[in-house]
Structure 1
Amino acid sequence: MLPKPLSCFQKWINAPFLFVLCNLFFILRLVFWIDYSAVNLLFSDQWTYLSPLFNRQGIVERFLYQHGPHRQGLGLVLSGMLYENSAWNSNIDSLFITLLLVLANIVFLFFIKLKFNKFLISDLLVPILVLSPIHYETILLAPNSSHSILPLLLISLFCMALHIEHNWWRIILSIVISANLLFTGFGFFFGLLGFFVTFVSEFKREGMGKLQLLTISFLSLIMVLIFFKNYNYSHGTDDFKFLALSFSHLEFITYQWSGLFQIREPYAFISGLLILVLLILGDILCAIFIFKKGNPNYAIPFYLLSGSLIYSIATCVGRVSTGANFAQGSRYMALSVPAIIGLYLLIRMIKGVRLRMVLSFLILFLSIRDIKLDSTHEENLGGFQEMKRRFLVHYSPSKTLKEVEDDSGVILLGASEQRFEYLQKNKLHFPP
């Protein structure tokens, strides 16, 4: 039995009204902030990954389109429909991506409610991280739902799917979601891992027949083969060196994890290293429970932790040459979030009340740093958005791309004269 002060505190942290109120605040704040900050101007990678729309290709081509090392998948299919029905208004896509974050937050919280039967105030780390403005780069600068935001929603749905009691529904939905992750942006790593986790968790369940396991194996193999059909390997940098390991690789990964909580130099390396060690230890613990003790209840924390750790390693391998500070970029944060949620789920499964509360609130305390952007992110976002606004001020339907760039002093990254003229000719995207 808990001491009276601790018991009163526990009642307070279970307060449902406060929990709902905080969630509504984070949702509304994000929606209004995105609506206020969005600038309707295609920028950087958008001019490339929207190629299937420029070429007027169909749904299959959009789904399979490869941009860099990943395919666009479900994201380009959905965003493409929005572009075509809004005269290519990228602000609509920004709000759509915001909606995806809101849905991911709801699904993660719903999963927590199903698993633990009640909410704690420490569960607020989910909306703080998922609905944080730290994801601005793939929402505002160069909106791309496929890159990591839609995969985050699919990851949350996979957690729900693996929690379904009916065997065949659980298997089918887990495979379908994993397949979409495989094809959608950097969800690729979670897609592959999803096939594996589905197989292992079903294998560890009592009474699971060979037919179900064969079905998982067959469908997973088919999806992987389809993904790699006509796949063009791309690592994204010119000086890529596979397995050329150095201290820079460790530094890059640690900066990515400290970057999730906006911890800058001189504490970026040591704090990132501590976070990385905790995540690895949590992942190993989950693996022990699953593979040695045969407990499938740890499959979801294992999936979330392993997926984000693999993603951070892959990011490091492809981008380490850009420098450690680049690892703290906004675009890498969305798919780092699952690991923190996975670690938190593992902590909530601890039986000791005091230890569980201390560790839970430690993660919550770190997450609070993401409620607002730090000065580095604010300057980065503000600079790019101001540059886009300046370009639009000098835009005229009668001007060429070069003329607008010369008048505004802004180079529209990624744009080509041909595609610029295509939008003008068809009266799309730009103001009349």
Structure 2
Amino acid sequence: MSESIPTSTPKPTPTASWYERSAWIVVSAVFLLLAWRQHQFVNQHAVNILFWDQWDFYAPLFREGSLWEIFKQQHGPHRQGLGFLLTDLLTHLSGWNSRWDAFGVSFVLIFAGLLGLLLARRCGARGISLVTIPLLFLNIRQYEMFVNASNISHGAMPMLLFMALLLCLFIERDALRLLAISLLTFLAIFTGFGIFVGLVIPMVLVVQMIQHWRQNEKQRALSVLLALVAIGAAWALFSVGYRFDPAVSDYRFPYEKPWEYFYFIAAMLNNFHGMQTQSLPVLIWGLTCTAFLGGLALFHGWRILRHGVLNERRSTVIFCLAAFSLIYGLNTAIGRVFSGWQEAGAASRYVTLMIPAGLAAYLHFATLNKAILARTLTIAYVCFLAYNTVELHTRDWRSINHYSEGRRAWKAAYLETRSEEQASERTHFQVYPAPVLGDRLRYLEAHRLNLFNSDAHP
């Protein structure tokens, strides 16, 4: 299985150097192609009108609140954090153009993908298999993040912060590494579903602290303890004013069919991999993927315990990725399973936060000791991703067109009638579940923002 990363690597032969350069050209070309396609998708389908949840989580912007109010804004079970500060900046630059939110999600995902490439390289992945990274991060199946209620804080910014944090594990200087980890964990806790990063990282730090203590490295153990205290303080600050909000009216726990929690996670992983039907073979595949993730977390967690966090940084990365995916998946299942695991588990918005699951699998495959096995598994995974995720299904396009055309039509109808009810009746579409937006629409009109900004793209 995988081993700790060597401190030095042999000098590459000319043939190896040529292969490495050629592989980087291919990987770069695929990355640029998928990034351009994503940009074009957003440009074609994003509409300049606030939609659904945006009317809610924009509340501190309507109130013209402070930066701290914006940062700590709670939406459903999470806070908005760093992603919402970026949203605030974009609103000031664009006149509240909702299309900029969608482009913001897109560009943050692109930057997260670039960090993902650096992380994969740092973990020892090489060659053409790195094409997996753009396939994971620029997966068009996350289209809901662009055409629905675009929220940079939900998944895109947590992925960027998570990749940056995992890269910090490779910093050699203890003080700098722990400072960076503490700061990024604080930001992750406050930013969308990065909240679960704040559960995974302390597990690693507790193990590291105990290992330093057992090796009689008391000063290093104390440094890790200080980082844990800082993360604990972040959690304490997060909890101030926090309210339990499952974001659905029919939430109940425990669910009367607890096995469906695992079905739900399986459906999330299947949808991430482009498998939408929930037939028995597909369900079994999803459950197998779920079990494999659990196996990755256990195996690499065992390596960390046996050899040490700092000696097994690659295993630490894979453990964190797998553990995050399982915790997020289980939390989502607990919060949504009663809505029907087949449909609810296949929501497009979950795809972004399943990226760590795919990345954990890829890094494990790519860094196996047996080169032939590693190459075979990574090529198979690349082909699987390319076949299933590069193109969308007819059902996906129906959903995309419903949101894009519906928002565009509602906007035109409202600008003509100045009536929420009439706009909804004419278009058979709603931008919010109830006609209660009067004050906010008047605010936007008075300041010539969002749909009332005639200079903005429709």
Asked if TM exceeds 0.5, the reply is yes
C-alpha displacement at 1:129, in angstroms?
1.4
Q: Is the 8 A contact 1:13 1:121 kept in 2?
A: no
Larger mean CA deviation between 411-420 and 199-208 belongs to 199-208
Residue 315 in 1 paired to residue 332 in 2? yes
8 Å CA contact 1:30, 1:131 repeated in 2: yes
Separation in 1, partners of 2:300, 2:332: 23
Task: State the match for 1:282 in structure 2.
Answer: 296
Deviations 1:66-119 (A, max 9, x none): 111111111111101211221110111211111101100100101222332x63
Decide whether the 8 Å contact of 1:400 with 1:421 is kept in 2: no
The DSSP-based 3-state class of the residue aligned with 2:250 is coil
Alignment deviations for residues 107-143 of structure 1 (CA, whole Å, 9 cap, x no partner): 0101222332x63222211101101211121222111
Specify the alignment match of 1:25 in structure 2. Answer: 33
Counterpart among 135, 141, 154 of residue 128 in structure 1: 135
Question: What secondary structure sits across from 1:336 in the alignment?
Answer: helix
Structure 1 residue 230 and structure 2 residue 237: aligned?
A: no
Q: Which residue of 1 aligns with 2:392?
A: 373
Task: Say whether residues 1:256 and 2:268 are aligned partners.
Answer: yes
| Structure 2 Cα separation of the partners of residues 406 and 382 of structure 1 | 19
Deviations 1:278-314 (A, max 9, x none): 1111111101101134343211100000001100000
CA–CA separation in structure 1 for the residues paired with 2:405 and 2:425: 16
Structure 2 counterpart of 1:395, from 403, 411, 414: 414
Runs of 4+ in 1 over 6 A off after TM superposition: none
Distance 2:109 2:209 in 1: 29
Aligned to 1:354: 372
Pair 1:200-2:207 in alignment: yes
Shift of 1:162: 1.0
Residues 7-86 of structure 1 mapped to structure 2, 5 A cutoff: 11=19, 15-86=23-94
Distance across 2 between alignment mates of 1:41 and 1:56: 19
1:339 equivalenced with 2:357 (yes/no) = yes
The answer for unaligned runs of 5 or more in structure 1 is: 1-6
The amino acid across from 1:164 in the alignment is I
Match of 2:312 in 1: 296
When normalised by structure 1's length, the TM-score is 0.93
Cα distance, 1:194 vs structure 2: 2.1
Q: Structure 1 CA distance, aligned partners of 2:393 and 2:201? A: 34
Alpha-carbon distance in structure 2 between the residues aligned to 1:203 and 1:139: 44
Q: Is the 8 A contact 2:60 2:73 kept in 1?
A: yes
Tell me how far apart the structure 1 counterparts of residues 57 and 195 of structure 2 sit (CA, whole Å): 17
Say yes or no: does 1:272 pair with 2:286.
yes
Distance in 2 between the 1:412 and 1:219 partners?
41
Match of 2:8 in 1: none
2-side partners of 1:421 and 1:390: how far apart? Answer: 19
Cα distance 1:376–1:317, how it changes in 2: closer, same or farther (>3 A)? same
The equivalent residue for 2:189 is 182
User: Percent identity among equivalent residues?
Assistant: 25
What is the correspondence of 1:160-179 to structure 2 with a 5 Å cutoff? Answer: 160-179=167-186
Q: Is the 8 A contact 1:401 1:420 kept in 2?
A: no
Of 284-293 and 390-399, more deviation after overlay is shown by 390-399
Distance 1:280 1:13 in 2: 35
Whole-angstrom distance in 2 between the partners of 1:198 and 1:170: 12
C-alpha separation in 2, matches of 1:132 and 1:210: 40
CA shift, 1:199, in A, is: 4.1
- Give the structure 2 partner of residue 427 of structure 1: 448
2:105 pairs with 1:91: no
Provide the C-alpha distance between the structure 2 equivalents of 1:167 and 1:72, rounded to a whole number of angstroms.
30
Count how many residue pairs are aligned between Structure 1 and Structure 2: 424
* Unaligned residue ranges in structure 2 (runs of 5+): 1-14
Residue type at the aligned position of 2:82 = L
Tell me the residue number matched to 2:428. 409
1:211 to 196, 201, 222: 222
Give the Å deviation of 1:214: 2.1
Query: RMSD over aligned Cα, in angstroms?
Result: 2.1
SS where residue 237 of structure 1 aligns? coil
Equivalence for 2:145: 138
> Are 2:129 and 2:366, in contact at CA under 8 Å, matched by a contact in 1?
no
> Counterpart of 1:3?
none
Given that 1:87 and 1:428 are in contact with CA atoms closer than 8 Å, whether structure 2 keeps it comes out as: yes
